[in-house]
Amino acid sequence: MAEVDIAALGDQIANLTLKQAKELSDYIKEKYGIEPAAGGAVMMAAPAAGGGAAAEAAPVQTEFDVVMTSFGDKKLDVVKVVKNLTGASLMDAKKLVESVPAKIKEKVSKEEAEKVKAELTAVGATVEIK
């Protein structure tokens, strides 16, 4: 493989238009099965230790969704907690609670997901972390 001028390649990538960046992303995904990470950085699969064959390692989940599946017996208490967690108006929080199963938080860290789940289960809601 030819030596690649990393700085020149980086400059070329940084100067791509949005359309070109999308085309590059699609090409890399199609050709090599590599998808951009949440921050936009390219994630690469490391080769396996045996024989040099690429291994399909299970991706480590870093973002979680908190889904309420039931509001339990204390709907008003759950609505108040949802309002505080989401910053939604009281009416919007009520609609969200009544539309179970409902995503209360999306793409949050494991720690934040556990915290949200604990707050909701403390008032009687049934919650899943996905």
Residue at 102 is within a domain = yes
Question: How many C-beta atoms surround the C-beta of residue 107 within 10 A?
Answer: 12
Burial of 95 (0-12, 13-18, 19+ CB in 10 A): middle
pLDDT of residue 39 exceeding 70, the answer is no
Q: How far is CA 39 from CA 4, 62, 104, 120, in A?
A: 24, 12, 22, 29
Same domain (yes/no): 68, 25: no
Residue at 31 is within a domain = yes
pTM over 0.85: no
Residue at 17 is within a domain = yes
How many distinct structural domains can be found in the chain?
2
Same domain (yes/no): 33, 80: no
C-beta of residue 23 within 8 angstroms of C-beta of residue 16 = no
For residue range 78-125, what is the model confidence (pLDDT) as tens digits? 899 888 888 888 888 888 888 888 888 888 888 888 888 888 888 888
Same domain (yes/no): 42, 71: no
For residue range 46-87, what is the model confidence (pLDDT) as tens digits? 444 444 444 455 567 778 888 888 888 888 898 998 888 888
What is the rounded CA–CA span in Å between residue 123 and residue 108? 21
Residue at 51 is within a domain = no
Residue at 68 is within a domain = yes
Q: For residue 73, what are the domain limits?
A: 64-129
Task: Report the C-alpha dihedral over residues 44, 32, 57, 2, rounded to 10 degrees.
Answer: -50
What is the rounded CA–CA span in Å between residue 105 and residue 84? 12
Residue at 123 is within a domain = yes
Query: Which residue's structure tokens are 């997901």?
Result: 113
Same domain (yes/no): 85, 117: yes
